[in-house]
Amino acid sequence: MLGLFLQTLNITLPVFAMLFLGVVLKRVGWIDDGFIRVASALVFNLTMPCLLFLGILHADFRTAFKPGILIYYSLATFVSFALIWWYATWRVPFADRGVYVQGAFRGNNGVVGLALAASMYGAYGISLGAILAGVVIVCYNALSVVVLAVYTPGVKSDPWSIFVNIVRNPLIISVFGAIPFAVYAVTLPGWLEESGQSLARMTLPLALICIGGSLSLAALRESSRTAIDASLMKMVGLPLFGTLGGWAFGFRGADLGILFLYFGAPTASVSYVMVRAAGGNYPLAAAIVVITTVAAAVTTNVGIFLLQWAGLV
């Protein structure tokens, strides 16, 4: 039992160590808001697209392309989004509902989920995780824009605005751009491949440090009951029912493990950026990001431990 628990920590601790290293570096002044802003833009526009592109390019589609997982995760995302929104209409003040719903369903899968999948399952985790990320990014962006627009006037929710937001997303471009290369087994020139790999290797540690540096301990201290409620929904309710649903549909092993890691990822920090840009309740959004990120260090380890103990992953 102890050996299994230590094995679980070996998988997750390197990821969360980078997160909390970011917290420390920010507090001692080695990185600042300017660095985080520029580095986050670099990750979003360049290094993460490289990681996703190469992950799909080198994916073994016979094993990593799983239509069943993609369909299940998409349906589970839409169902959870609808249920959380319905719940919010009864329990959350009108002005905060958009922030609550986005915080409770939108996971940081492009960084934390993918990093954990890579740590736990290696090349297969990156391949399946990158393919799944393409679906996740489309779903999360579209649904977040819709729910924020309903309760926050600063966000446009017309179909054209949503479409433009999606097609201009560098992560989506890299995912769909890589598919023809992978299908037709196109080989990149050696220098280009090595350059891309160097950029891709920067992604996860740099992104995790930036997330850690952007966490606000003040937001954690000032967190409201609404933030705690949304965080429990995201870190307990969603991974529990999402993983149980995946098990009921017959997913096992690495597939079920990656589903759990994606459902159980903390709230995406971009949710805070969207809320602040729209003029919404950004302290609430920040508090949800902080609470879920801190909680993930516990819930992820417990979840993986239980799944391994039960022989499901």
CATH assignment of 2-309? 1.20.1530
| pLDDT at residue 24 in the model | 92
Kindly write down the DSSP assignment for every residue of 23-38, as one continuous string. HHHHHHTSS-HHHHHH
Asked if pLDDT for residue 159 goes beyond 70, the answer is: yes
Read off the pLDDT band of 223 (50, 70, 90): low
| pLDDT at residue 2 in the model | 55
| pLDDT at residue 198 in the model | 93
| pLDDT at residue 196 in the model | 92
Express each pLDDT in 68-118 by its tens digit: 999 999 999 999 999 999 999 999 999 899 999 999 999 988 778 888 888
| pLDDT at residue 217 in the model | 67
Which stretches within the chain are classed as H helix?
2-28, 33-42, 48-57, 61-64, 67-91, 97-105, 114-151, 159-167, 170-183, 190-214, 217-221, 225-232, 238-248, 253-263, 270-278, 282-309
More confident residue, 161 or 156: 161
Asked if pLDDT for residue 54 goes beyond 80, the answer is: yes
More confident residue, 25 or 224: 25
| pLDDT at residue 3 in the model | 58
DSSP 222: T
Residue 121 CA to residue 9 CA, distance in Å, equals 14
Asked if pLDDT for residue 240 goes beyond 90, the answer is: yes
Mean of the per-residue pLDDT values of the chain: 85
DSSP helix/strand/coil, 107: strand
| pLDDT at residue 229 in the model | 95
Burial level of 169, CB count in 10 A (0-12/13-18/19+)?
A: middle
More confident residue, 40 or 32: 32
Q: What residue ranges do the domains of the chain occupy?
A: 2-309
Read off the pLDDT band of 25 (50, 70, 90): very high
Asked if pLDDT for residue 4 goes beyond 80, the answer is: no
Share above pLDDT 70 across residues of the chain, in percent, rounded to a whole number: 90
Residue 281 to residues 218, 221, 235, 261, Cα–Cα distance (Å):
15, 16, 21, 28
More confident residue, 262 or 221: 262
Read off the pLDDT band of 230 (50, 70, 90): very high
More confident residue, 275 or 4: 275
